[in-house]
Amino acid sequence: MAAAAGVAALGTTLALAPGASAATTLGASAAQTGRYFGAAVAANKLSDATYVGILNREFTMVTPENEMKWDATEPTQGQFTYANADRIVNHARANGMRVRGHALAWHSQQPGWAQNLSGTGLRSAMVNHVTQVATYYRGKIYAWDVVNEAFADGGTGARRDSNLQRTGNDWIEAAFRAARAADPTAKLCYNDYNTDGQNAKSNAVYAMVQDFKARGVPIDCVGFQSHFNSASPVPADYQANLQRFANLGVDVQITELDIEGSGSAQADNYGRVVRACLAVSRCTGITVWGIRDTDSWRASGNPLLFDGSGNKKPAYTATLDALNSGGPTTPPTTTPPTTTPPTATPPTTTPPPSTPPPGGSALEGGGEGPQGRGRQAPSVPLTVVKSGRAPAITKLEPAAPDVAAGHAETENACGADVRPEHAPADRGEAGTHLGVARSARSAEGIPAIHGGGGSQNGQLGAGASTTFGFQGTGVGPSATPTCSAS
Ligand code: G2I
């Protein structure tokens, strides 16, 4: 793992280091290129030991399958219920997984009271719902599906007719603006199906994203649900379609993957999907829509990676092999780019970038946690800022703001010493050999710093950049690391 992490942090095409063995779980293999591998999870299955065993072993991201939807979280107007969603979020965080929130505004699975609203009453209820839910989960969500399935099927490229659409064409951007204001730390996604290849529907979504980017409407990612079967196969231009969206300046994510079928045909299709994502540097992760075939919303199609008994299917092996075949690492996953500034106060867990002391050096950058139990977070970009006659940087001190006492796992990163700022000095032993991944682990409890990227000569010159991320063995809150350098 340490070797793999070090390779991933280099920010280059993955090639396993000599002697390194391939990762053996979906999450670890995806992490080698800075990606996540997630699953949709149902709260009522968290008492199923087989289910939870697979979840905890294989996955690094969780999407509540139904528990964050409008009917679940606001069954009565103005009264919010988070118990089931919290069970999933708490389970994820306690086991080092991140969470994709799904979904804030959608024509389906609305509570009855919302279905009966229209006009300004519905618009303000929708905006309030987005605000309340995103605020409640602020800092705990990697990405929100802010708006789900707002475009019509067929060749028109039109918006889907719905009560939300009838409140005015700007309902989507109103939802995104409300989400950004409520949680500036979450990536904000538009999510849809039948948009996986280039067609009238995906063209319409593309035009919307392009327009949002041009006008500064906050959008950071597009989710491609990717529900496939013989009637709706993996499109030949799947990768090209992901890429053209990425080229707009948004991340792309495969958000609800399932592929009906069996045996090698199903396995081949899973491999194709994974390779397409890995070929697109801004494809930041893949989520399958359930764990075992029997957990699926369309169980009769056996569309998932594990059979009803929890055994790995050929589709699992193809997925793992494709993940291990590598691809470009994902790009920075830090501050959402080129969108309107958040209107809400940033969370207190986000420290400002360090500033260079007079005549000294500093690193600017940040990223997000947490990770746990051997998982690796996306690498974090750091750029060396130097002023005056500062010497080359030989020491980095990442500080994870939420790091709790009692645990340290350190590896040298950027070719230098790295130690969580708040780790007790007598815990963990920072690496001393520049450019060599070393680690030392002590007690449980927090995410820790890993590294391994950067120059091999142990120095970073002015303007040079490197990456680091989190790798931990415990439970960590969302955290934005900063670096100081000397
Ligand atoms: O339909 C597949 C997915 C398409 N994209 C959006 C996703 O949110 C959607 O997920 C599915 C869930 O997997 C199903 O579990 O959304 C369905 C509803 O549109 C979910 O089904 C519902 C049933 O219709 C309800 O009867 C049931 O009470 O699940 C509910 C909770 O089990």
pLDDT digits (tens, 9 = 90+) for 360-412: 333 333 333 333 323 333 333 333 333 333 333 333 334 333 333 233 333 32
Could you tell me which residue, 440 or 82, shows the higher pLDDT?
Answer: 82
Active-site residue identified among 65, 67, 74, 256: 256
C-beta of 256 in contact with ligand 1 (< 6 A): yes
What whole-number percentage of the chain has pLDDT above 90? Answer: 62
* pLDDT given for residue 324 in this prediction: 96
Does the pLDDT of residue 93 top 70, yes or no?
A: yes
What is the reported pTM? Answer: 0.71
* 108 close to ligand 1 (CB < 6 Angstrom): yes
Amino acid at 120: T
Q: What is the mean pLDDT of the chain?
A: 75
The answer to whether the CB of 84 is under 6 A from ligand 1 is: no
CB-ligand 1 contact for 135 (6 Å cutoff)? no
pLDDT in tens, 171-222: 999 999 999 999 999 999 999 999 999 999 999 999 999 999 999 999 999 9
- Ligand 1 atom 16: residue of nearest CA: 66
User: Tell me, what DSSP letter sits at residue 345?
Assistant: P
DSSP string, 402-425: TPPTT--EE--BTTBB---TTS-T
Is the pLDDT at 289 greater than 50, yes or no?
yes
Strands 375-376, 221-224: pairing is unpaired
pLDDT in tens, 469-486: 333 323 333 333 333 443
Q: How many angstroms separate the alpha carbon of residue 298 from the centre of ligand 1? A: 10
44 lines ligand 1 (CB under 6 A): no
Q: Which one has a higher pLDDT value, 274 or 445?
A: 274
Closest CA relative to residue 452, chosen from 96, 34, 61: 34
Q: Which two tokens stand for residue 1?
A: 């793992």
Q: How confident is the model at residue 331 (pLDDT cuts 50, 70, 90)?
A: low
- Kind and range of the H or E element at 132? helix 119-136
Instruction: Please list, in sequence order, all residues whose beta carbon lies within 8 angstroms of the beta carbon of residue 87, skipping any fewer than 6 positions away.
Output: 43, 46, 67
Closest CA to 365 of 393, 404, 389: 393
* 26-326 homologous superfamily: Glycosidases (3.20.20.80)
Residues 6+ apart with CB under 8 A from 120: 167
What is the 131 CA–ligand 1 centroid distance (Å)? 23
Residue range 113-135: mean pLDDT, rounded? 98
Query: Max CA-CA distance within the chain?
Result: 68
Distance between CA atoms of 476 and 92, rounded to whole angstroms?
11
Torsion of CA 126, 131, 133, 136, to 10 degrees: -160
- 260 catalytic per annotation: no
**Domain residue ranges in the chain:** 26-326
Ligand 1, from 109, 148, 297: best to mutate by most atoms within 8 Å of Cβ? 297
Give buried/exposed letters for 427-441 (b at 16+ CB in 10 A, else e): bbebbeebbebbbeb
Label residue 80 left, alpha or beta by phi (over 0 means left) and psi (-120 to 50 means alpha): beta
Q: Whose CA is nearest to atom 28 of ligand 1?
A: 66
Which of ligand 1's atoms lies nearest the C-alpha of 290?
Answer: 13
Give Cα separations from 235 to 230, 238, 242, 269 (angstroms). 11, 5, 11, 10
For residue 66, the model assigns a pLDDT of 98
Cα-to-centroid distance, 475 and ligand 1 (Å): 30
| Alpha-carbon gap, residue 193 to 477, rounded angstroms | 32
Residue whose token pair is 């764990």: 291
